[in-house]
Amino acid sequence: MKVEGQIRIPSGCAIAAVISKEGKKMSGEKIIDSMKPMHDRSNGLGGGFAGYGIYPEYKDFYALHMFFDQRATRKNCEVFLKERFEIVKSEIIPTRKIPSITDEPIIWRYFVSPLKSVLASMQLDEKEFVARTVMQINTEMHGAYVFSSGKNMGTFKAVGFPEDVGVFYKLEEYQGYSWTAHGRYPTNTPGWWGGAHPFTLLDWSIVHNGEISSYDANRRFIEMFGYKCTLQTDTEVITYIMDYLIRRQGLTLGEAASVIAAPFWSTIEDKTNREDKEKHMYLRTLFPSLLITGPFSIVFGFDGGLMALNDRLKLRSMVVGEKDDKVFIASEEAAIRTMEPDAENIWAPAGGEPVVVRVKDGAF
Amino acid sequence: MGVEFIYPEFEVIRNDNRCIACRVCERQCANEVHFFNAERGVMMSDETKCVNCQRCVSLCPTRALKIVKSDCKLRENANWQDDTIKEIYKQANSGAVLLSSMGNPKPFPVYWDKILINASQVTNPSIDPLREPMETRVFLGKKPDKVKRDANGKLLCELPPQLELSLPVMFSAMSYGSISYNAHESLARAATELGIYYNTGEGGLHEDFYCYGKNTIVQVASGRFGVHKEYLEASAAVEIKMGQGAKPGIGGHLPGAKIVGDVSRTRMIPEGSDAISPAPHHDIYSIEDLRQLVFSLKEATEYKKPIIVKVAAVHNIAAIASGIARSGADIIAIDGFRGGTGAAPTRIRDNVGIPIELALAAVDQRLRDEGIRNNVSLVVGGSIRSASDVVKAIALGADACYIATAAVLALGCHLCRTCQSGKCNWGIATQRPDLVKRLNPDIGSERLVNLVKAWQHEIKELMGGMGINSIEALRGNRLMLRGIGLTEKELEILGILHAGE
Ligand code: SF4
Ligand code: SF4
């Protein structure tokens, strides 16, 4: 049977997220709990988490989280990395043995900084270099896979139910100002750890619930710009689209949301603010191939914030709630209530309406 | 007679019990097949002249007529088929190149018919186009690589010129001269009502139709007929015709007999002179020359109109398209080998060029591999026969489709494939006033609008089924397609999986 990457596997999902606007740190415990009431939205074939602000002592270094199939692969890969990066720390990612998570690969993390000489000779900026290197390892180095590559953030994922994955990775030992979580219901059994979510590139991480119908149109467009969709998942392509729009094209989060969940032409025509109308006309005409159709709800994590977004028809459930300095996002209200029984202002954002939450400046 | 005789291809069958000798057929047939025998008081026919255009059949008030294929055949031979032998007789009789019209009728594979479309089940929902918005609007033209902002960070919302289409279908080039005034009027009015474009072809633009300019694409072909400043200015876009699917590599020839009155004036050539378009543009012998013509036309139109370059689908079309995409052109139109024509040498029509499906797939992929797909929009034609062909073309990677044969069918064409005779009984491919007036532009434009609207409904249904509510998300979405009965190589070129995969 073909595994993920050789074939496109649709899946349903559960997502959840929490962020402190004050930048207050939370352990991973709450976010693990949030996935419990949504157990039936996953089927044990993939779960994962992303935490931001979790590596303060290494915050200036890219944290590469990696899976290896065997020791030899890791050794080879380390040689490759040393030619390109200064590695300030390399270690096994701590895990605990539990019966519900089996067949784990070798899981390792490196805190790295690109070698200046290499950057200069390739005439690339740091982020572009890291992104390309990650893409190169994932497409060319058999048995090695980078599943997280941002600064002061990290992804933790596995084949299993999300609540078990959280325990496996000892997430209660990490402290972050924002967390996202994902439980997966793929309609097939790839049994591959890399296929679990969140999907990340640099600081961007995405958890996503849905199955987009525009997938191949999006993929074939974004691959023109050096991205390689090796997993054939929606999450992967959406991450690359966001990276392209925000980092490479310099769009704001709101503008990027207007590209991927563009308002209908009729809505744009009815706009009375001329500038707003022009902007939407422009973005839709310029990036037609990055419009995403079909159901999706995503939480997009970035350095210092989160953005939640639904497809323009709102074909997937997603609710937002608040309590004090915290904002909660989840597929179901029950997940929010688990994190914060007294959550207030629970509301369902309209289709295509981005909800952006940022940590206040200088808070971390 | 004798050795020169070729038994007629069709038989005119008249049911004498029904025929009331009203002589309608006689008046309707410009080929003069029907005549009244006063002595016997009956209608008779000379089927040697019949082209099976079905005009008499359609107008006979008592349904007394039918045209059938003659069963008088030469002895069967798988190698020397009937047609092949008869073509030899014709050439031995005349010493001439065989001429024919409309698209390639040979049984080459039609890839559209070997491609199946996807639909949503369970894992994502289909969308009901009657209840939810379903968008088919597209913009054709260059899309810049980089977003620009002013000093304050405000987006600079300027784009190169774009053609806005209410759905990705346009009427392809058919010149005034090859088709009639009324046919042109029908196309112009329908395009205007539909919010799409029609194309003048290479014969200039009749002064009466300047008012439809904002829905008109004007063509500049190798003969430069009818090209002048106002002509370019009147248009929404300018198309440089490098080639045509029905006759790649050769020019055009409109016989002097058709260069009469307005046709001669519009083409800016003397009455009765043959209008000969040379095979190449004599100022374009290579890609850098094309670039110069593209920019000359941009200069002439002050960079306000997109420039289209139309080429025939030939073997190395991907490399050619890549060259055009770097020439400054805004849109590339590719015409497949099944595309129609008013007249072409039979051997060329039937043997030169490649299917549009393969050309489209190869070009779209090549432009993406080179990262220049955004430099140009891709329009494909020859032949797009239905809404599902449109959907498949868009999913393979086209931005829009050109239709011409389907459009003239809507106007009444019965595909008799003898347009070159100039005696089109349906008032389309003719300049004879008595025949032209058979096509009423009020009815003609309404029928075209009906056809395109019907296709639009069907496109929306198909899109809704796939869970796609905007045509942009279908473009290049090859995962929505599967091949059936295709070889590995064909699937590889089309860039699609086989059904069941
Ligand atoms: S040429 Fe047309 S109108 Fe004339 S007899 Fe044949 S089918 Fe009828
Ligand atoms: S346009 Fe007229 S002559 Fe040409 S194929 Fe159609 S019916 Fe025949």
Ligand 2 centroid to Cα of residue B181, in Å, is: 15
The answer to whether the beta carbons of residues B340 and B416 sit under 8 Å apart is no
pLDDT of res. A191: 63
User: Do the strands A47-52 and A11-20 form a parallel or antiparallel pair, or are they unpaired?
Assistant: unpaired
Q: For A274, which residue in chain B has the nearest alpha carbon?
A: B157
pLDDT digits (tens, 9 = 90+) for B181-237: 999 999 999 999 999 999 999 989 999 999 999 999 999 999 899 999 999 999 999
pLDDT attached to residue A309? 94
Cα A287 from Cα A284, distance rounded (Å): 5
Q: Which of A118-132, B269-283, B462-476 has the lowest mean pLDDT?
A: B269-283
pLDDT at A210: 82
Mean pLDDT along residues B232-257 = 90
The length of chain B in residues reads 501
Q: State the 10-residue block means of pLDDT for chain A, 364 residues long.
A: 60 84 93 84 80 95 95 95 95 93 93 94 92 92 93 94 92 95 70 83 91 93 91 88 95 95 94 94 96 92 94 88 94 91 92 92 68
A contacts of B480 (beta carbons < 8 Å): 213, 216
Q: Do B147 and A286 touch (CB under 8 A)?
A: yes
| CB spacing of A286 vs B159 below 8 angstroms | yes
For residue A200, what are its two tokens? Answer: 């990340």
Q: What are B130-156's pLDDT values in tens digits? A: 888 999 999 999 999 999 999 998 999
Question: Which SS3 state, helix, strand or coil, does residue B425 take?
Answer: coil
Number of Cβ within 10 Å of residue B22's Cβ equals: 15
- Residue B494 and residue B500 in contact, taking contact as beta carbons nearer than 8 Å: no
Give the whole-angstrom CA distance, residue A238 versus residue A276.
24
Helices (H), B235-325: 261-267, 287-300, 317-325
> Which of A225, A286, A294 lies nearest to residue B124, judging by beta carbons?
A294
Query: What rounded mean pLDDT belongs to chain B?
Result: 94
pLDDT of residue B273: 86
| Catalytically active residues of A, by annotation | 13
List helix spans (H) across B48-201: 55-59, 82-94, 181-194
Residues from chain A that touch B120, judged by Cβ atoms under 8 A, are 213, 294
Q: pLDDT by residue (tens digit) across B424-449?
A: 999 999 999 999 999 999 999 999 99
Facing residue for B467 by CB, picked from A213, A281, A285 = A213
pLDDT number for residue B102: 86
Cis preceding-peptide flag for A198 (omega within 30 of 0): yes
Contact B172, B404 (CB under 8 A): yes
C-alpha to C-alpha distance for B397 and B377, rounded to whole angstroms: 10
Q: What is the mean pLDDT of the segment spanning B370-381?
A: 96
Please state the φ and ψ torsions of residue A151, each to the nearest 5 degrees.
-100, 135
Nearest-angstrom CA–CA distance, A231 and A3 = 9
Per-domain boundaries in chain A: 14-358
**Ligand 2, CB cutoff 6 Å, lining residues:** B 53, 101-102, 408, 413-419, 424, 426, 428-429
Using a CB-CB cut-off of 8 Å, the residues of chain A touching B474 are: 214, 217
Total residue length of chain A: 364
Q: What pLDDT, on the 0 to 100 scale, is given for residue B349?
A: 93
Q: Can you give the residue ranges of every domain in chain B?
A: 10-96, 138-498
Task: Note the ipTM here.
Answer: 0.90
At what angle are helices A234-242 and A215-222 packed, to 10 degrees? Answer: 50
Residues 6+ apart with CB under 8 A from B96: none
Residue with tokens 């990696």: A66
Interface contact A250, partner B, CB < 8 A:
yes
Alpha carbons B269 and A313: distance in angstroms, whole number: 57
Using CA atoms, how far apart are residues B453 and B308, in angstroms rounded to an integer? 25
A91 burial via Cβ count (<10 Å: 0-12, 13-18, 19+): exposed
Residue indicated by tokens 């899976």: A67
Which of A217, A255, A315 shows the shortest C-beta gap to B125? Answer: A315
Q: Mark residue B442 as left, alpha or beta (left: phi above 0; alpha: psi -120 to 50; beta: remaining).
A: alpha
Quick one: fold of B138-498?
TIM Barrel (3.20.20)
Architecture of domain B10-96: 2-Layer Sandwich (3.30)
CA atoms within 13 A on the CB side of A243: 26
By most ligand atoms within 8 Å of CB, the mutation choice from B175, B182, B411, B424 for ligand 2 is: B424
Of the candidates B135, B295, B292, B304, the residue with the CA atom closest to the CA atom of residue B213: B304
pLDDT category, B297, cuts 50, 70, 90? very high
Cα B261 to Cα B199, B267, B282, distances in angstroms: 21, 10, 28
The finding on whether B12 has its CB within 6 A of some atom of ligand 1 is: yes
The pLDDT value recorded for residue B287 is 86
Mind listing the pLDDT tens digit for each residue in B318-346?
Answer: 999 999 999 999 999 999 999 998 888 99
Chains A, B: CB pairs < 8 Å: 111
| H-assigned helices in A151-233 | 162-168, 215-222
- Look at residue B277 in the predicted model and tell me its pLDDT: 87
Residues A82, A87, A89, A94: what is their CA dihedral angle, to the nearest 10 degrees?
-60
Overall fold of domain A14-358? Glutamine Phosphoribosylpyrophosphate, subunit 1, domain 1 (3.60.20)
CB B138 within 8 A of CB B163: no
Residue to probe by mutation, ligand 1, list B50, B54, B426, most atoms within 8 Å of CB? B50
What is the pLDDT, as a whole number, of residue A8?
Answer: 63
Which ranges constitute the DSSP H helices of B4-81?
24-28, 55-59
